[in-house]
Amino acid sequence: MAQPTRSQRLHLQPSAPRRSRREPSERLLAFLLLLPAALLLCGVLLFPMLTTLRDSVFANKLTEPWAGTPFVGLKQYAQMIHDPRFLQALRNTLFFGVLTVGGSFLVGIPMALAAHTPSRVRGLARVALLLPWAMPPVITGLIFAWLFNGQYGVVNDLLVRTGAVHEPLRWLSTPGLAVVALVITVVWKTSSFVALIVLGGLQGIPRDLTEAAQVDGATRVQSFFRVILPLLGPSLAVAFIFRAISAVQVFDIPYTFIQQAPAQGLLETLGVYIYRTSIEFLDFGYAATLSGALFSVSLGITALYVRFVRGGEG
């Protein structure tokens, strides 16, 4: 919905007859109203981000204080692209990203359709939709670590009861299974977001359109694929870009899982590796370089979003 409303808004801008004498005061007012937000954003987000980019070309290891903080240029960037741990973390992040973003759409779209149809339990359905989205991520991680517990976990219980497996699986300490558990957890947490954006899109589609299609003899499935899905395009695109951003930055849930099964190299995302480099290895210089890489990826996806929104406005 964000995108159509934005373009609508542009057309609603009245071309109010501007009285030139009012102009300076209006500009001053706008400046004053925007100033606090600009100060907070620049002081707490932009300035630290620029600091990170500057720090990425200086060495700064707190564990080697005698070395000081010499300028090393792009040396740390060269170190990064040859760092097997970075490459592994990058691969993990991209792999999780593809699976969890794809998964959240596969689950989220049907969720939105279910929540959209009028029913007596609509309020309850809406709460069920919001709960995973609003749950603190670190708590989601803890809950699912318990659901996937290797000895007494309810997931194992259901698998054994249904005869799918004979022995309980050690979900979090088996590399492949830990990845599956992480993907399921993140998909549970993020499908809601996709569903909510799609729900917004569905609410903006006039019922007449689907009814007209049905009068013309289309089945519900046909009218979904031919009428509804194309109209959902903008909502899906917005949901996709925001999901992609949160996927490359994912930290809390993998971090919680690693606490439960410390040796899982496959669970280390870029976010977790940056955290460890800064807080555990105290290598602030290299952490800044890694952050620069993550920031570039995020910026790339943001640029995609901007292009998309701008394209919609034109």
Partner 1 sequence: MDEPAPRLTLPERLGRSLALIALIVGGFFPFVWMLLTSVKTEGELQKFPVQYLPGSLNFANYAQVFTQQPFARFFFNSLTVSLLSTVLAIVVAAPAAYALSRLNIRGRGLLLTLVVAFSMFPVVSLLVPLFRLMRGVHLLNSYPALILPYAALSLPVAILTLVAFFSAIPRDLEAAAMVDGSSRVGALTRVVLPLSAPGVVTAALLVFVNSWNEFLLALSFNTRLDMRTVSVGVTLYQGEFAFPWPLIAAAVVIATVPIVILIAVFQKRFVAGLTAGGVKA
Name which of residues 54 to 113 contact partner 1 (CB under 8 A). Answer: 55, 110-111, 113
Nearer residue to partner 1 within complex by CB, 45 or 164? 45
267 binds partner 1 (CB under 8 A): no
Nearer residue to partner 1 within complex by CB, 16 or 263? 16
Q: For 58, phi and psi rounded to 5 degrees?
A: -120, 140
139 binds partner 1 (CB under 8 A): yes
Chain positions 286 to 305 lying near partner 1, rule: CB under 8 A, are: 287-288, 291-292, 294-295, 298-299, 301-302, 305
Smallest distance from the beta carbon of 103 to partner 1, in angstroms?
A: 13
37 binds partner 1 (CB under 8 A): yes
230 binds partner 1 (CB under 8 A): no
Q: How far is CA 222 from CA 38, 101, 112, 176, 217, in A?
A: 48, 25, 18, 38, 9
**Integer Cα distance of 268 and 114 in angstroms:** 35
Chain positions 176 to 215 lying near partner 1, rule: CB under 8 A, are: 188, 190, 192-193, 196-197, 199-201, 203, 207, 211
For residue 191, the tally of other CB atoms under 10 A from its CB is: 25
Q: How far is CA 187 from CA 127, 192, 248, in A?
A: 18, 9, 14
Structure tokens at 21: 């004498």
Among 80, 147, 213, 261, binds partner 1 (CB under 8 A): 147
Name the segment binding partner 1 (CB under 8 A); options: 70-78, 80-88, 136-144, 225-233: 136-144
Q: How many residues bind partner 1 (CB under 8 A)?
A: 124
For residue 134, the tally of other CB atoms under 10 A from its CB is: 8
Chain positions 9 to 28 lying near partner 1, rule: CB under 8 A, are: 9-10, 12-14, 16, 18, 26-27
Structure tokens at 259: 């606490």
**Integer Cα distance of 304 and 189 in angstroms:** 24
Structure tokens at 299: 């910026």
Among 67, 78, 81, 154, binds partner 1 (CB under 8 A): 154
- With contact defined as beta carbons under 8 Å apart, do 86 and 273 qualify? yes
7 binds partner 1 (CB under 8 A): no
For residue 51, the tally of other CB atoms under 10 A from its CB is: 11
Name the segment binding partner 1 (CB under 8 A); options: 73-81, 82-90, 127-135, 173-181: 127-135
